[in-house]
Amino acid sequence: MRLYVLHRMGQAAVVLWAAYTVSFLILVLLPGDAIAALTGAGGAAASVSPERLAELRREYGVDKPVLVQYGTHLADAVRGDFGASFATGRPVGSLIAEALPQTLTLTLTALALALVLGAGVALAATYGSRPWLRQLLLSLPPLVGSVPAFWVGLMLIQFLSFRFRIFPAFGDDGWRGLVLPALTLAVPTAAIVAQVLARSLTTALAEPYVRTARAKGAGPVRVHLRHALRNASLPALTVAGLLVGGLLANSVLVETVFSRNGLGRVIVAAVTAQDVPVVQGVVVLSAAVFVVVNLIVDLLSPLVDPRIVLTGTGGRT
């Protein structure tokens, strides 16, 4: 186990480095000058003198060659220092710390809803004895999964906010303001979980140990929940870990649609202003969350299926 964790930590370091490097290169290759844009010096009526502009570039270190900037910023990032925002001058860590709780609350709520909804549909589809109901339930996940998240959000706003006035359409109004954004994120994710779990349950219910349990007098509910679900849940658990990254990415769109404060609005403002330190801080944080969640999923795998053994080379047998 220790060798496995050390191996995965090495992989995590490579992933974080790659995320940082790619985000740096993309922002460097974007046209325009972030300092000039922030000071208004790029417009027709420039209000900042060339001397002041050069001073600001020296202050933020963007007057140096790209490789020097990369090396300096990377060394600082390794120490957990992503510098200060070009736009506000505030430390990047402070900006992220303010926005992170809102995004984490939204993402974790959406993940919990997705697991409950996805598991409910999969269990209902494989438990029912009526073929037409089974086919109907099994056809729902692919249909819902093909719907864009923003369309789900707009429909929820239209019906549950504007028409029936059950939940607020915009803002951070406590738990009521969290329902629609969380559902917007959860519905497409639940469709994927339902597809994977339903397929795994179908396979598990055809295994000999299930027939043996039925022959010993186990009822349908016991067979489903105690025998089949545990063995079928591992693929769904793995997929749920992978979907955390998608939930974080979609939170950018959802927070914008529902006018919620969070990392989504921070990253949109930072990309628009080419605020390199803020963008890199958020990108590295998102990559770190993705890596940690998938490590937790891997460590939980032997608990779900005792046949799985974690090896020192980072694999599972």
Q: Concatenated DSSP letters for 113-144?
A: HHHHHHHHHHHHHHH---HHHHHHHHHHHHHH
Alpha-carbon distance of 311 to 317, in angstroms, equals 7
Per-residue pLDDT, 45: 41
Q: In the chain, where are the structural domains located?
A: 1-87+274-317, 102-272
pTM (2 d.p.)? 0.81
Q: What count of other Cβ atoms lies within 10 Å of the Cβ of residue 247?
A: 24
- The structure tokens listed for 281 are 């801080």
Residue pLDDT, tens place only, 165-216: 888 888 777 788 899 999 999 998 999 999 999 999 989 888 888 888 888 8
Question: pLDDT grade, residue 247 (50/70/90)?
Answer: confident
Reply yes or no on whether the pLDDT at 43 is more than 50: no
- The structure tokens listed for 173 are 């109004």
According to CATH, what is the number of the domain 102-272? 1.10.3720.10
Give the DSSP H or E segment for 85.
none
Q: Exposed/middle/buried for 1, CB within 10 Å: 0-12, 13-18, 19+?
A: exposed
If you average pLDDT over residues 20-28, what whole number do you get? 86
Alpha-carbon distance of 167 to 315, in angstroms, equals 46
Per-residue pLDDT, 39: 66
